[in-house]
Structure 1
């Protein structure tokens, strides 16, 4: 997998720049749609990154905005690159939305989970048990497709030459819930110990003794990017879907929540000891 900007991140960057240029030209979405003889909803979907945009559409929009030839050529090329397919397109049935494309280009990933091991840290057997439990409606072939997709995602942490900084704060209940049986869970916990030894991976556990804590509402992931043109984004996960939060005040709120969680959690070294002891109890 490449660590260059993913097509998803390029599309997000292009969308933000197109919105900025329209606003600089003092044009509304309706006015642009009228000038280009297309619906205002199409312009809106392009500016939010919900749909791809062709190089021709970009060229037409930039002409309306009065953009210089140099920037026009740059943005048209960005549109071409944004239409390329990432490795995850081979798993379209398993991955939905922009999540994996954003994850692939992040410079840091900060996550909190209160119910299960985060996907990037799961063993194959744990993943299979989780998918079977949460998706009893799908067949074995679909289960295996999702398992392979998740294992491919994990290469981001284990096989990249420049992996993202990964920091996970887990509730103690994640360690105590025996998923897939004692042997599967023991293997999973031992893998957490191994991954925690990587220089770019940090694990912390919020113990039961901490009581109520800031992360009890829903699991979330904060994704940070190396380029200033790509602002941080928060992905909040719900039972059947997730939402992306990009407004600075939302990102700041979840950053504060994560800081509170880190403060309430055991130190990384103590966390590894707790994980190891929990694994040994399953022997």
Structure 2
């Protein structure tokens, strides 16, 4: 399989965003890592890829934690072989968060939960917590991460094209848990659908398990996006896929399901009790 550029993109964007958050210049990071400034600039520009043995030091100089540094090494090594990057969801979520900040087009589908970018805080603590139980600290960190991603997307100066498709099951379950929260979340989804470039749809009917959740990220008109990526997950792992043939299959599925889905602006669920019976 041919090499891809997604690993290089991820590394350089992690370096750039971390360095800028710390208020450091490229020269300062280079000196801290005993590199020529031009060498470091080439890493951030994507003209060169840092050796895996140097990534941990670069990551630390740019303010990233040891866990993030290890994931950056894993991403660099995995992508060098052109393979899908398999990792725990919380690690591949770092890649997804960057993609949400810089890609020009993305699509997200979840048959059982409202996508994280569209969740209200109460939804996270009431519904998502039931789906993914954990300690209070773990749940709090999960919301902080979602909130950071939400703000990052809302603060973008460009207008990415965003498609969100939610399985009706997610909304029916929410309504059984809390009618007031259901109404609040529905209003929130409709507010999002009014934003430029944002489309939200609800997919009725059962969905095969292997098709029940995936995302696609495309560069679009963004000058700083990476190559096309598809993301999917199972109980104990997740994958970032950059094989063009496989991404095309995911995109074909996206088009097929999207045509069946209902725009959130006209979605009505008055007969929900009947259909649950």
TM-score range normalised by the length of the shorter chain: 0.5 to 0.7
Aligned pair in 2 of structure 1 residues 229, 127: CA closer, same or farther (>3 Å)? Answer: closer
1:121 is matched with: 118
* Structure 1 residues 173-252: aligned runs within 5 Å: 173-178=169-174, 180-208=177-205, 217-225=211-219, 226-227=222-223, 230-252=226-248
Q: Deviations over 1:85-144 (max 9, x none)?
A: 88996x97x9423232233221111111110100000000001123421333x3212211
Aligned pair in 2 of structure 1 residues 56, 124: CA closer, same or farther (>3 Å)? Answer: closer
Counterpart Cα distance in 1 of 2:143 and 2:271: 25
| More displaced stretch, 198-207 vs 111-120 | 198-207
* Structure 1 residues 5-44: aligned runs within 5 Å: 9-11=9-11
1:96 is matched with: 91
1:172 is matched with: 168
1:152 is matched with: 148
Using the size of structure 2 for normalisation, the TM-score is 0.63
Counterpart Cα distance in 2 of 1:122 and 1:100: 15
Aligned residues: 215
Q: CA deviation at 1:57?
A: 11
**Runs of 5+ in structure 1 lacking a partner?**
1-5, 14-54, 60-69
Counterpart Cα distance in 2 of 1:129 and 1:265: 26
RMSD of equivalent CA atoms: 4.1
1:265 is matched with: 261
**Runs of 5+ in structure 2 lacking a partner?**
1-5, 14-31, 69-88, 273-277
Decide whether the 8 Å contact of 1:106 with 1:223 is kept in 2: yes
Using the size of structure 1 for normalisation, the TM-score is 0.62
Q: Secondary structure at the match of 2:267?
A: helix
Q: Secondary structure at the match of 1:133?
A: helix
Larger CA Rg, structure 1 vs 2: 1
Decide whether the 8 Å contact of 2:12 with 2:44 is kept in 1: no
Aligned pair in 2 of structure 1 residues 174, 131: CA closer, same or farther (>3 Å)? Answer: closer
Counterpart Cα distance in 2 of 1:277 and 1:57: 65
Decide whether the 8 Å contact of 1:167 with 1:203 is kept in 2: yes
